[in-house]
Structure 1
Amino acid sequence: MNWQNAIITRIETQSLRVKSFFFRLPEPFLFRPGQHVLLRLTAPDGYRAQRSYSIASAPNAGEELELAIERFDDGEVSPFMHDIAQVDDEIEIGGPVGGHFNWTPEDGGPVLFIGGGSGVAPFMSMLRHRAAIVSRVPVVLVFSARLREDLLFFDELSKLAASGDGFSLMVALTREAGAHPFRAGRIDAEFIAGIVGAMRMRVRQVMICGSHPFVEAAAEGTITAGIDPAIIKTERYGATGLQAEVRDLPA
């Protein structure tokens, strides 16, 4: 593992519980969209805590690395990042890590991304890379959040969807009480089946990222909608960071 002391260059609030942290690396590294890094904190007594976070920036985004970090009250790293970390602080970063939950336009399509909450972060890296290389590979992102204010990167995603380059955005809000133009309620097999049918071509790959319960429900709905489990990849997160083992769902 290659560890280096990265400098926080800026912090942007995405929602009440999510902030984007931008880091300048002394030794910028190459990575594939969908990979993650480890953040490691060391206490004065030598105790260390580390968590994995998906990279939200594209591989060609320059020297800054963006991580969208959700605060978990019972976490060891995210409360520090939200409450204490400031611009110009040094944070140990290791990586990149992860060779399974990756996608680039060269891998082909159509592809279906399903993201819940801050699980949209790896898809931002993929979509930003896709836009940077002016790809027209068909991609649909289903983005589920609790409230409208939890729709991370929504303005950027909306602009990408309006570009007419083959990217479509579908939004579901599970707890929004007010009127809105999005799907109300959780995503299910019927909703996913309708999206897959509208894609008109056989889906080549499905990628799902979010909390453990979200991934379980989305994967079950996707399989019920008729998608071959062999083309589904998942990644889960929580207070302990990204799931250590990311693998295809069993048939």
Structure 2
Amino acid sequence: MIDPAEAAAQWRIATVVAIRPETARAKTIVFDVPDWPGHLAGQHVDLRLTAEDGYTTQRSYSIASAPTADARIELTVDAVPDGEVSSFLHDELRVGDLIELRGPIGRYFAWSEAHDHGLLLVAGGSGIVPLMAILRSRAQAGATEPARLLYSSRTVDDIFYQAELDRLVARADGFTLTHTLTRRAPTRWPGERGRIGRVMLARHHFVPEGRPDIYVCGPTPFVETVAEHLVAMGHSAGRIRTERFGPSGEFR
């Protein structure tokens, strides 16, 4: 029997089976991955590109899809200015192309319905991707413990998964969603405006009661600021899981 860690460390040749737009700057890429060992919501993969001259480069991308029985996974990739890998994935990649992947990686940020104590989720920009995997997994499992998502985007056009998030709210299974826009909001915008702070977190009941599991993902300064606010509000630092990314768009 192959050890799960050993299986995750193997590079696999994945086939691109679908590409769809999420926003003007983001695409979801669906891969068929032979012998995929399965994943938990919140985990990520390494993706490696190799040029004809042998030059290689790799990036880590969160898995957007919920765990399923088949060998397909989805990655949602934001176009990063001058991003070596994201530029290739946006401009060159086509259905039928082959890409090297390994994973799944990272159990620290993973979520399973077997340990559902309620969820508080805070996303900044493309940091929504692993949190979307968690929400999809939660819906798939029929979980009903309360889950709240506070999602910060620059503008309405930058919101990932808009229609699907609305459908998840409509399930009326304890999931509530609040958007905040930091740059431009339309007239009669029903959500929040501005950056996430302690007052906004408190207004939307991101409070310690019930000892919920907390996941925060986004750019490094965003994640650090939100985590500091949550601790100041009384949350245990040990229950706040964080994942962040830098200018390259790579998670760490």
Contact 1:110/1:201 (8 A) holds in 2: no
Residue 6 of structure 2 is matched in structure 1 by: none
Contact 2:47/2:100 (8 A) holds in 1: yes
2:70 to 50, 62, 78: 62
Contact 1:210/1:236 (8 A) holds in 2: yes
- 1:221 Cα deviation (Å)? 2.2
Distance 2:130 2:16 in 1: 20
Comparing 201-210 with 98-107, which one deviates more in the overlay? 201-210
Residue 34 of structure 2 is matched in structure 1 by: 26
User: Is 1:190 aligned with 2:199?
Assistant: yes
Residue 143 of structure 1 is matched in structure 2 by: 151
Distance 2:244 2:208 in 1: 29
- Unpaired segments ≥5 residues, structure 2: 1-8
Residue 251 of structure 2 is matched in structure 1 by: 242
Q: Deviations over 1:49-93 (max 9, x none)?
A: 000001010101633210011111232211110111111110101
Q: Deviations over 1:122-159 (max 9, x none)?
A: 11111111111211121111111000011101111111
Residue 71 of structure 1 is matched in structure 2 by: 79
- Find the residue that maps to 1:10 and give its secondary structure: strand
User: Is 1:113 aligned with 2:115?
Assistant: no
Return closer, same or farther for 1:203/1:169 CA change in 2, 3 Å cut-off.
Answer: farther
Residue 52 of structure 1 is matched in structure 2 by: 60
Distance 2:224 2:208 in 1: 26
Runs of 4+ in 1 over 4 A off after TM superposition: none
Distance 1:5 1:164 in 2: 40
Distance 1:21 1:192 in 2: 32
Q: What does 1:100-179 correspond to in 2, within 5 Å?
A: 100-179=108-187
- 1:20 Cα deviation (Å)? 0.5
Contact 1:141/1:170 (8 A) holds in 2: yes
Distance 1:137 1:61 in 2: 24
- Unpaired segments ≥5 residues, structure 1: 244-251
- 1:202 Cα deviation (Å)? 2.5
Residue 221 of structure 1 is matched in structure 2 by: 229
Residue 86 of structure 1 is matched in structure 2 by: 94
Contact 2:116/2:143 (8 A) holds in 1: no
Distance 1:168 1:203 in 2: 17
- Find the residue that maps to 1:127 and give its secondary structure: helix
Contact 1:190/1:225 (8 A) holds in 2: no
Distance 2:138 2:70 in 1: 16
- 1:14 Cα deviation (Å)? 0.9
- 1:45 Cα deviation (Å)? 1.1
Distance 2:140 2:30 in 1: 19
Residue 37 of structure 1 is matched in structure 2 by: 45
Name the count of aligned residue pairs: 242
Q: Deviations over 1:178-234 (max 9, x none)?
A: 22111011110011122236x794232211001112112221222233322221110
Distance 1:182 1:61 in 2: 36
- Find the residue that maps to 1:187 and give its secondary structure: coil
Aligned amino acid, residue 225 of structure 1: M
Contact 2:208/2:235 (8 A) holds in 1: no
Distance 2:219 2:239 in 1: 20
- Find the residue that maps to 1:65 and give its secondary structure: strand
- Find the residue that maps to 1:99 and give its secondary structure: coil
2:241 to 233, 236, 239: 233
Comparing 53-62 with 217-226, which one deviates more in the overlay? 217-226
Distance 1:87 1:153 in 2: 21
